[in-house]
Amino acid sequence: MTDVYSFQPLMIGRPYRIEYIHSYGEVSQFFLGLKEQKLYASRCPRCGATWLPPRRDCGKCGAKCNWFEASTEGKIHTYSVLHFAGEAFLNDLPFVLVYVEFPGIDTVFLSRLVGVKPEDIVIGMSVKARFKRLVEWNANDVYFVPA
């Protein structure tokens, strides 16, 4: 049965469903690493750039990178308290997005911050990674708490 929302103009419901089988490809190790409670990053042997999230190829010079294990402690580079989100995350609201700086990593890493009141969050604050036991095999398997 088709849902009809209006006749003038004629407006109907058209549900659509897709079952993706998604591959993490050459960065699979990062996601497998979350189950080991590790943050795997990449280092470029040519120009020295370090990447977290990791890359097979250096985004700066194009050379093939090597894997290394990053620290799980860092500092808040910036953050925001979200009161609205895409449909998939409405049930999580409100939540805090945070970009984390790590020692020896050129990039900053997006994650969620939990266990701290919004008004107590400050840029520069120390945080550490926590890993979910029951992994969902996605980037949300790691999150951060005050260190």
Partner 1 sequence: MRRVCVISGGITKFAKANPELTQEAMCKDAFDRALADAGLELKDIDSSICTYFSDHFNGQLLFDSLTQDYLGLCPKPSMRIEGGGATGGLGIRAGYMNVASGLSDVCLVYGFEKMSEVNTAKGNEFIALASDTDFDFPVGGFYSGYYATMAQRHMHEFGTTAEQFARIAVKNYDNAFYNPYAQKHERLTVQDVLNAPMIATPITRPMVCVMSDGAACVILASEEKAKQITRRLVYITGLGCGTDTMRLGDRPRGDVILLPGEEPEKYAYLKGRWPGVASFRGGREAARQAYLQAGITDPLHQIDFAEVHDAYASSELQTYEDMDFCKYGDGGKFVEAGLPYLDGELPVNPSGGLIACGHPVGATGIMQGVFALWQLQETIQDHMKSDRLQVKDARRGLIHSHAGTGTYITVHILERGW
- Of 31-90, binders to a copy of itself (CB under 8 A) are 31-32
Please give the order of strands across the beta sheet that includes 66-70. Answer: 50-51, 39-43, 66-70
By beta-carbon proximity to a copy of itself, the closer residue of 125 and 135 is 135
By beta-carbon proximity to a copy of itself, the closer residue of 17 and 133 is 17
Mention every residue, 6+ apart, whose C-beta is less than 8 A from residue 84.
Answer: 93
9 preceded by a cis bond (ω within 30 of 0): yes
Torsion sign over Cα 91, 87, 54, 35: positive
Should residue 47 be labelled a site residue for Zn ion when binding is judged by CB under 5 A?
A: yes
Should residue 12 be labelled a site residue for a copy of itself when binding is judged by CB under 8 A?
A: yes
Torsion sign over Cα 46, 47, 53, 59: negative
Should residue 41 be labelled a site residue for Zn ion when binding is judged by CB under 5 A?
A: no
Out of 6, 84, 91, 119, which residue is the one contacting a copy of itself (CB under 8 A)? 6
Should residue 122 be labelled a site residue for a copy of itself when binding is judged by CB under 8 A?
A: no
The secondary structure of 74-101 as a DSSP string is EEEEEEEEES---GGGGGG-SEEEEEEE
Q: Enumerate binding residues for partner 1 (CB under 8 A).
A: 6, 9, 11, 14, 16, 18-27, 51, 53, 55-62, 77-90, 92, 95, 97-99, 106-112, 118, 123, 138-140, 143
Residues contributing to the site for Zn ion (CB under 5 A)? 44, 46-47, 49, 58, 60-61, 63
